[in-house]
Amino acid sequence: MKDRILLRSLCDDDISEYADMLYKSFNKWYWKHGWSKDYFGCRTQETSIFYDIYNDLTPGKSVAAFDKNTGKMMGACFYHPREYHVSLGIMSVHPDYFGIGVGRRLVDHIINYVKTNGYKSCRLVSSAMNIDSFSLYNRAGFIPRMTYQDVVINVPVTGIVGGNIPGDDRVREARHDDVQKMAELEMEISKIKREMDYRYSIDNPRGVLHATVYENNQQTIDGFMISVKHPALNMLGPCVARDEEITIALIKRELERFKGTWVLLVVPIQKRKIIEQLYAWKAVNVEIHLKEVWGEFEGFNGIAMPSFLPETG
């Protein structure tokens, strides 16, 4: 079967087939494994937002597997070279081709890119409940470095209630002149940075992203939060912050964007203050995720919440 696989990057002509494959990949896998509902609750073609955003950020940085005999797309994955690392995602294989080595070919291709381009690490966030993806990454050399709990909050139409949050008045819209400070903060806390992502979120060319920052009294930044609001995914993150209080203030502000709908948050599992606040806002646990790293990892010096769009690793 492996001889039947042709690898190439995705192009605009593939968008429709890609969206169809991505939608079927996740929905089929999650139904099969007891999720009891569609993972993507949007229309099939709306999942093309993943291609759109990843391709805007890092054009051509994707790898797709095609069946040489039929020309059908078997699977695809994006990769995102940043200043010091590469992040990987979103990974998907068409259900007709699960379990025959397509995922592994895609991961190997990306690791090869990481090695030949001199990056010291590749990062991703994968479901701890998905033994197929866990095995895929683990066998390819990724090591789980952090556990997150995924929670969903249904934000009331009238917004979140629950009194004043300390630091609320320090949260404001992100601006272009924050980009460098956001990078410095993320370097300090997570040992990575990705200025193109922050700038893209602030510019928001597709109208689905939003960014806020937490400014301290020295006019510098102690935290930032980005979110995505789209039929395929409502999610807070990435968020980088010095402590849990700052994170809570950023979460509270960004939740206002989601009045009358649901939103997903992926929170470091040991950060008790954050999760207790989220429970007070009626958060429901839905999944567990792992940060997985191939290569160097220096740990975190604060709070880092990931996102799946753009995948942050």
Ligand X SMILES: CC(C)(COP(=O)(O)OP(=O)(O)OC[C@H]1O[C@@H](n2cnc3c(N)ncnc32)[C@H](O)[C@@H]1OP(=O)(O)O)[C@@H](O)C(=O)NCCC(=O)NCCS
Candidate list 34, 60, 71, 99; residue touching ligand X; CB under 6 A = 99
Phi, psi of 71 (to 5 degrees): 80, 0
Binding mask 100-139 toward ligand X (x if CB under 6 A, else -) reads xxxxx---------------------xx--xxxx-xx--x
DSSP 39-65: S--S-GGGGGHHHHHHHHHSTT-EEEE
Instruction: Tell me the closest approach of the beta carbon of residue 286 to ligand X, in angstroms.
Output: 14
Q: How far is the CB of 37 from ligand X (least distance, A)?
A: 15
Kindly provide the residue ranges of all beta strands, DSSP E only, lying in the chain, ordered along the sequence.
Answer: 5-8, 62-67, 73-81, 86-88, 92-93, 121-127, 143-154, 171-173, 209-215, 221-230, 233-241, 262-268, 284-295, 303-305
Q: Is 18 exposed, middle or buried (0-12, 13-18, 19+ CB in 10 A)?
A: buried
Q: Rounded distance, CA 102 to CA 93, Å?
A: 7
| Smallest distance from ligand X to CB 64, Å | 13
**127 versus 257: smaller Cβ distance to ligand X:** 127
Number of residues forming the site for ligand X (CB under 6 A): 22
Using the rule CB under 6 A, give the single segment among 93-101, 186-194, 241-249, 293-301 that binds ligand X. Answer: 93-101
Q: How many of the other CB atoms lie within 10 Å of CB of 214?
A: 24
What residue is closest to ligand X based on CB? 103
User: 302 or 306: whose CB is closer to ligand X?
Assistant: 306
The minimum distance between CB 15 and ligand X, in angstroms, equals 18
Closest residue by Cα to residue 149 from 13, 275, 22, 8: 275
Binding mask 139-158 for ligand X (x = CB under 6 A): x-------------------
Per-residue binding letters, 247-286, with ligand X (x by CB under 6 A): ----------------------------------------
Query: Binding to ligand X by residue 26, rule CB under 6 A?
Result: yes
Interface with ligand X in residues 224-243 (CB under 6 A)? none
Q: Tell which positions 63-92 bind ligand X, by CB under 6 A.
A: 91-92
Q: CB of 233: closest distance to ligand X in angstroms?
A: 13
In the chain, % helix, strand, coil (3-state, to 5) comes to 35, 30, 30
Q: Please give the Cα distance from 310 to 79 (Å, whole number).
A: 10
CA–CA distances in Å: residue 74 to residues 20, 29, 42, 99, 131 = 11, 15, 22, 11, 20
Which CB, 9 or 127, lies closer to ligand X? 127
CA distance 307 to 313: 8
Which one, 106 or 211, has the nearer CB to ligand X?
A: 106
Binding site for ligand X (CB under 6 A): 25-26, 29, 91-93, 98-104, 126-127, 130-133, 135-136, 139
